[in-house]
Amino acid sequence: MKVDYFEKIRNGEEMTFAEQVIMITMLSIPAIFSQISTVIMEYVDQSMVGRLGADPSAAIGLVSSTTWLIGGICNAVSTGFTVQVAHSIGAKNDAKARGIAKHGLIAVLCFSLTIALICLAISKSLPFWLGGNETIAKGSTTYFRIFGAALPLIHLCGVSSGMLQCSGNIRTPSILNVIGCFLNVFFNFILIFPTRPAIIFGKKLVIPGAGLGIAGAALGTAMSEGFIAVVMLYFLLVRSPLLHLRKEAKVPFTLSELQTAVKIAIPVGIEQGIMGIGYVMVTKIVSPLGNIALAANSFSITAEGLCYMPGYGIASAATAIIGQTLGAGRKKLANRLGWLATALGMLVMTGTGILMYVFAPQLLGLMTKDPEIQALGVKVLRIEAFAEPMFAASIVGTGVFRGAGDTLGPSVINFISMWAVRLTLASILAPRIGLPGVWTAMCIDITVRGALFLLRLYFKPVSRSRIVKVQLQ
């Protein structure tokens, strides 16, 4: 018999410890599979580009930190509205939740269009700002320009997914994200490579291809994201039992709604901006080490994703759970669920960290045949494996606090750890021991960050969030 745990939370029903564990686990599983499938498809994506040589791989790796920065800032705007949707549903104010969902979609679209225009304007100069050379600058510009043009669709897909998750529907966006990953691989397969012969099941076939190289990789991602964005919006606005459009009295866009969105979004935006700029600075530190180091760094970041993406899946579930639990006024339950989600994330990522250490050579071998890139990538992945349990504490802890609308504290922690620990140590170690020095700094940073999140979860539980108190008055 299917149990609606969100309904039990909203109705104030008691939940045993076993039920709490089962709820977090069952809601996390679809999100975990979605995140893992995303990384697997990135593996395939990177391996396809990797077959073109080290320079194309380095070209994409050069601007990847900037795309993360932009994606993080856009995600901050989405968070300002998705968390309010969860709180309103938890408080059984579904009409308000639908109004916030519509207002959020409009705000996200306007913001992403503005950022897209900025991306197009800076695309030609960006590779040189990041320390790239002439051999990879053209490819980096092409990739970033296509990314910028597709940003509104990418952002709409993300906010629609977040709203569905915060309404309690984790499965649908997870399935759609998996489908989007497979579409990305299919489009890349056609767009990156030229038409070529192949032998499949003993038969000689001609596989059509556009031969667009780096541009094909970017277009493949843009096309898959665009398709999934349309489908995600359909499920949000037509099929969602709680959030679909319906004929009812319109809920006006209020000043308090905007103020709450800003209070939630600004710390996240600052955090993502600071973290993103930090990643850009790391890229600038790595760039002088050469194209081999730059490619190895990019491939290793993708490889590590298999290890930490389960944490992001659990964090997505935690945001929805904590948001609705606090919206229902169940503070003690929210505190317990926050700790349980964090503990589950640390347990899962301890296991994935062990697997990453053991299978690092195989992970790198799937993406590149270059022995120098492989050897360097294996070395840095094994350094990072030791930090994964504490990485889980920071990832899931962020999701837990976001569910409470508490985004300032996590932002401060991430700022301190990135700039005071990672960048300082990386700038000292990189000239002396190369890329392993950069990843050693990353390992120490993540360990410190995880410890700070655990301390904050203990001394300031989610039930003490000021934003939640204001919303429930």
Q: What is the pLDDT of residue 30?
A: 84
Residue 314 has which token pair? 């659990």
Contact between residue 66 and residue 151 where contact means Cβ atoms under 8 Å apart: no
Q: What is the pLDDT of residues 278-288, one digit of tens each?
A: 877 888 898 88
Bridge partners of residue 210, in order along the sequence: 194
Residue 41 pLDDT grade (very low, low, confident, very high; cuts 50, 70, 90): low
Residue 27 lies in a domain: yes
The predicted model gives 14-38 an average pLDDT of 84
pLDDT at 1 over 50: no
Contact between residue 86 and residue 323 where contact means Cβ atoms under 8 Å apart? yes
Residue 287 belongs to a domain: yes
> Which string of DSSP letters, residue by residue, matches 156-185?
HHHHHHHHHHHTT--HHHHHHHHHHHHHHH
Q: pLDDT tier at 471 (50, 70, 90 boundaries)?
A: low
DSSP annotation of 460 reads S
Supply the pLDDT for residue 203.
77
pLDDT tens-digit readout, 77-93: 888 899 899 989 998 98
The pLDDT value recorded for residue 436 is 94
C-alpha dihedral (170, 172, 173, 177), degrees to nearest 10: 130
What is the pLDDT confidence band of residue 46, given thresholds at 50, 70 and 90? low
15 in a structural domain: yes
For the segment 113-153, what is each residue's pLDDT rounded down to a tens digit? 999 999 999 999 999 988 888 888 999 999 999 999 999 99
> Which neighbouring-strand residues pair with 197?
206
Q: How does strand 194-200 pair with strand 203-210?
A: antiparallel
337 close to 464: Cβ distance less than 8 angstroms: no
Please report whether residue 311 resides in a domain.
yes
Per the domain annotation, does 2 fall within a domain?
no
What backbone torsions phi and psi does residue 276 show, to the nearest 5 degrees? -65, -40
Say whether pLDDT at 379 is over 90.
yes
Q: What is the pLDDT of residue 262?
A: 83
Between 35 and 16, the more confident residue is 16
Neighbours of 417 (CB within 10 A): 24
Residue type at position 259: Q
User: For 299-308, 377-386, 410-419, 425-434, which range has the lowest pLDDT when averaged over its residues?
Assistant: 299-308
382-393 average pLDDT score: 94
Which stretch of 32-46, 213-227, 313-327 has the lowest confidence by average pLDDT?
32-46
Report H helices in 51-170: 54-90, 94-122, 126-129, 134-166
Share of the chain above pLDDT 90, in %: 42
* pLDDT for res 457: 92
Phi, psi of 196 (to 5 degrees): -150, 155
In this prediction, residue 2 carries a pLDDT of 61
What pLDDT score was predicted for residue 359? 93
Q: What is the CA radius of gyration of the chain?
A: 22
Which of these ranges, 53-57, 91-95, 180-184, 448-452, has the smallest mean pLDDT? 53-57
Tokens 């296991």 sit at which residue?
351
**Is residue 5 assigned to a domain?**
no
pLDDT reported for residue 294 = 84
Q: What angle is formed at CA 9 by the lines to CA 7 and CA 11, rounded to 5 degrees? A: 70
Between 339 and 26, residue with greater pLDDT: 339
Residue 262 lies in a domain: yes
- Written as one string, the DSSP assignment of 385-409 is GGGHHHHHHHHHHHHHHHHTT--HH
Mean pLDDT of the 50-74 span: 80
Q: Are 147 and 223 in contact (CB under 8 A)?
A: no
Q: Extract the tokens encoding 313.
A: 């899946």
Q: What is the pLDDT of residue 39?
A: 66
Give percent of the chain above pLDDT 70.
95
Q: Which of 101-105, 235-239, 301-305, 413-417 has the lowest mean pLDDT?
A: 301-305
pLDDT given at position 470: 44
CA dist., res. 410 & res. 422, Å (int): 17
- What per-residue confidence (pLDDT) applies to 251? 67
Can you name the residues that pair with 207 across neighbouring β-strands?
196
Residue 390 scores a pLDDT above 90: yes
Is the pLDDT at 401 greater than 50, yes or no?
A: yes
* Length reported for the chain: 473
Among 473, 408, 418, which Cα is nearest to 448's? 418
Other beta carbons within 10 Å of 40: 18
pTM above 0.95, yes or no: no
The number of domains in the chain is: 1
Is 325 a residue whose pLDDT tops 50? Answer: yes
Report the candidate in 458, 399, 392 with the shortest Cα–Cα distance to residue 27. Answer: 399
Identity of the highest mean pLDDT range in 38-42, 68-72, 134-138, 375-379: 375-379
pLDDT at 5 over 90: no
Per-residue pLDDT, 245 = 84
Q: How do residues 255-276 score in pLDDT, each as one tens digit? A: 777 788 888 888 888 877 777 7
Domain that includes residue 136, residue range: 10-472
Report the pLDDT value the prediction gives residue 209, as an integer from 0 to 100.
Answer: 87
